[in-house]
């Protein structure tokens, strides 16, 4: 993890955050990854050390090298108490004296710049001693990524995550949610009268009726196509008109009852109207604003 990326090759931009590196618990921004060759100073000369997939973190407290990552790239090391000797694949040796929990040495990137600074080496034991980052916080900081990708990214960044599971995320659940499809047409007709009725509210009319009527409630039977029209003063009277329709047919001794009432999603078919349906055991079905059967009749 390096603060300067002037000499990076194969640079890949990446937006993210790193927490708890080098003992610093604050979040610092991650700008990208790249390959770079560091020249670490020894008593006689400098030893080049290639670092692959190094993170570019301008606000990092140190230029940090992961000992486990260097070992994976083929470098070896020996000693651990007072310091550590890093042996590169090319055979160069660099002595890192211990400074607190870190092993440090001065160095610079190839094509030395003004950003020459101390390079600190994190040994595996010290890296695990740092406070681990909560997996769920890491999930939020990295754009709600999948747990497998999060753990791979954390390993590349040298971030230790908690062992706990990734808890259900409200943001992920909402983004993955799907709107229930609304049936736009009926494939089969009702097999008996009044099994399914269609309702539509017409109005507001341009001219008010003598009795103060502004709206019409059109109710049509799916089986027989028999249609009733109720005149209403207010849109909210749709529930009253529908209940009157149900009462009229029950008093006439009709052997069938209404099972399904299909309407659009208008507010007049919510609230009190829905309460009437629940009281009489009628299922409500909603369609988009395309009540073709009632509208054709209403013309």
Percent of the chain with pLDDT over 70: 73
Domain 196-298 annotated CATH 3.30.420.10: yes
- pLDDT tens by residue, 153-164: 887 766 778 877
Going by C-alpha positions, the residue among 136, 129, 258, 266 that lies closest to residue 203 is: 266
Please say if the pLDDT value at position 192 is more than 50. yes
pTM (predicted TM-score): 0.37
Confidence of residue 130 (pLDDT cuts 50, 70, 90): very low
- What is the DSSP track for the chain? -BS--TT-EEEEEEEEEEESGGG--SEEEEEEEEEEEEEEE-SSSEEEEEEEEEEE-TT-SSEEEEHHHHHHTT-EEE--SSEEEEE-TTS-EEEEEEETTEEEEEEEESS--TT-EEEEEE-HHHHHHSPPBPHHHHHHHTTS--HHHHHHHHHHHTPPBPSS-----HHHHHHH--PPPPP-S-SS--SSTTSEEEEEEE---SS--TT---EEEEEEETTT--EEEEEESSGGGHHHHHHHHHHHHHHTT-S----EEEE-S-GGGSTHHHHHHHHTT-EEEE--S--HHHHHHH-
Of the listed ranges 77-81, 103-107, 293-297, the one predicted with least confidence: 293-297
- pLDDT tens by residue, 7-37: 888 888 887 777 655 455 577 788 888 888 8
User: Where do you find CATH 3.30.420.10 in the chain?
Assistant: 196-298
């Amino acid at each position: 993890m390096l603060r300067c990326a002037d000499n990076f090759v194969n640079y890949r931009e990446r937006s993210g955050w790193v927490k708890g590196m080098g003992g610093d618990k604050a979040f610092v921004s991650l700008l990208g990854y790249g390959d770079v060759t560091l020249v670490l100073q020894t008593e006689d000369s400098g030893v080049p050390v290639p670092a692959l997939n190094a993170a570019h973190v301008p606000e990092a407290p140190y230029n940090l090298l992961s000992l486990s990552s260097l070992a994976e790239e083929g470098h070896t090391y020996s000693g651990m108490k007072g310091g550590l000797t890093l042996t590169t694949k090319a055979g160069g040796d660099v002595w890192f004296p211990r400074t607190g929990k870190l092993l440090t040495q001065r160095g610079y990137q190839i094509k030395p710049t003004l950003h020459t600074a101390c390079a600190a080496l994190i040994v595996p034991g010290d890296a695990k001693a740092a406070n681990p980052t909560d997996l769920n916080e890491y999930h939020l900081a990295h754009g709600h990524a999948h747990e497998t990708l999060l753990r791979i990214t954390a390993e590349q960044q040298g971030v230790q995550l908690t062992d706990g599971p990734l808890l259900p995320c409200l943001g992920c659940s909402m983004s993955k949610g799907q709107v229930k499809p609304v049936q736009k047409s009926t494939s089969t007709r009702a097999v008996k009268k009044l099994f399914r009725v269609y309702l539509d509210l017409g109005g507001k009319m341009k001219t008010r009726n003598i009795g103060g009527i502004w709206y019409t409630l059109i109710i049509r039977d799916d089986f027989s196509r028999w249609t009733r029209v109720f005149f209403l003063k207010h849109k909210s009277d749709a529930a009253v008109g529908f209940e009157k329709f149900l009462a009229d047919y029950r008093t006439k001794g009709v052997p069938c009852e209404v099972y399904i009432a299909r309407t659009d999603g208008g507010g007049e078919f919510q609230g009190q109207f829905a309460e009437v349906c629940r009281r009489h055991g009628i299922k409500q079905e909603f369609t988009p604003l395309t009540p073709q059967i009632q509208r054709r009749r209403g013309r």
